Structure 1
Amino acid sequence: MTSANLELPAARRVQIPEPAARCASVIRRVAVLLFENCSFIVTVVLGEIFQAANESAVYANLNVRYDLRFLSATGGNVKCSSSICVWTDEINASHRPGLDALFVSDGAGVAAAAAACDERLVQWLRRTHANMIPVVPLGEGRRLFQAACGSAERQPAGSGDDVCGAQGVEERDHTNVRLELMKGALILIARDMGEDCARGVAEHVMPETLPALSSLLGGQPDSGSVDRVHIAARWMKENCQSSISIEDAARLVDMSTRNFQRCFKSEVGVTPSAYLLHARFSIICSLLTHSELPVDKIARRTGMGNGDRLAKVFRRHLHLSPTEYRTRARRVAGI
């Protein structure tokens, strides 16, 4: 019989330039309660989700990290349906106030009458729920959670009505369980890291679930939002030579900055920042080619602040300085 320790490694240390280097990571502790003959896909998918979230946090320079733990009633190896064993900690030893979320796995063991009548396990689940820790029961795990928490539990705490349906186990398949996993995990990730990071994790781990997760990840903008996006886009293009910001554009059309950015990207195809930069670049490149204005003055006239900032942006996007661009553009234009 194969045995696997699927516990994720501790949050990696990342070298971040000062002053951000002294910002300590916030560790979110997520636990998965396993039972005999549980689906191995639960352990694998959750591991992939939170590993992807940690990598996304590093890339986005966020200070949130996830620590995933596997638990069982007695601890030790738990045999999954694929005959692979997963090492688990005992629930009492692992229960601590710092737990941020709990997934209750599916599997034949949880559906057994012995599991549902295990008073020690039931009391542990009740304490976890009473401490306002979000709980996401999966498949047959919902039966145990309802037995433990009774009518007090109408939906998984912090997860919304769409995280777990009321279908019987005979109506569930691996796709449904995987979708429940993704929904429950993305609610946590969106809360801690934002919708964009949550969407990126979904695209990386299970892109086929994105249509079913559209409401959770923001969905498509309505017609009213689309109209406001076009108004804001026109305003940014007309005023790009001023020192305007994305926040200014969002306020103009009475939208939150996050919702404005999401709707703008969905409708226009690029972020508001990229759109504004493109509008400015069109004017900057024209001035560099057809005028004798110094680079610093061009930067001030196009909302770029100063020549140093303009030079950095040029090198990042065009891989040459404004002066080099001017020389090449004039040569091509025969000026």
Structure 2
Amino acid sequence: MSGAKSYSAFSDSEWDKSLRSLYEERINTIHKQEHTSASLQDQHEQIIKKAVCLALNKTGSEWGEPPAHFAFFLMGSGGRLEQSFWSDQDHGLVYESTNEEDELYFLHLGKEIVHALEKVGYKRCEGNVMASNPKWCCSSEKWKNQLKQWLHEDKWETLRYSLTFIDARAVYGKTELVDQLKQTFFQVVSNNPRMLVRLTENTGRLKKGIGLFNQLLVETKGVHKGKFDFKQIVLFPYVNGLRLLAVQQHILSSSTVHRFEQVTNEHLKQSQKSFEQLLEKRVTWQKEIEHYENIHHLSIENLSKEERKQIKEWVREGHRLYQTIERLLKG
């Protein structure tokens, strides 16, 4: 690729030293600082970009410069700008090339990115939604065909992949490549309105959060027994609803907050303030959590009466919001 930088030798010891240094930077800037939700996202992005640059340097020193323009993108909470203090990896690569041999380069780059992020403190995705997986590391043309295929197959799994992708947000490289893929996605759905109904059905199961006696419902078994699933019960009804509206209204933004700002329905916009408040409160509640596995559950016995009341209000509002959006999209 003309105009690209040249890469000097990058030994294994230098690679390991650089990753250890970046891990320490992560601990100091993310875990040892006071944060708002926005500042936490900024710090995550800075660390992730540095990890990508290290992986690119490592790959470049061994394989040469990238053979085509590309974009590295985050999905999941990273794509939506909703990461907590600990986060797993959800990401992909798209590149401008019709040369099948270039796939080997970018899959290798994806593998190095996964390794770098893991060493820096981002757990590997259990579902393998990462740029080291050929499903999530494709040329622009292959990506477009894959998105069309996922939607037309109309299976629970392929629709789940589609919804995962629509939260993609480019953080390194040629960002237009991701926007072009989203436009392809939007066009396919516009041409077949039933697909929007099917996508809605894919996210329609809302996890109950309040019991018959107005109590918050906690997990009754498993490793999180006795704890409240904040992510599924409180956060996701807002997230899933606004994602569906983004598809319907061709909103390129991946952030739930930005989607709220851009939707055309003024009544639905009224829930934006609550969503922003719950993101801020989550930062306060989760600051002391030391492991990714515990980041999405709350110990409600540590919450005040007012805090529990607030959670119940968010649960009710989020569920009403999602159900309203569901009715709108199903016609």
For this structure pair, what is the TM-score category when the shorter chain's length is used for normalisation? under 0.3
Higher strand content, 1 or 2: 1
Q: TM-score, normalised by structure 2?
A: 0.28
Q: Indicate the structure (1 or 2) with the bigger Cα radius of gyration.
A: 1
Q: TM-score, normalised by structure 1?
A: 0.27
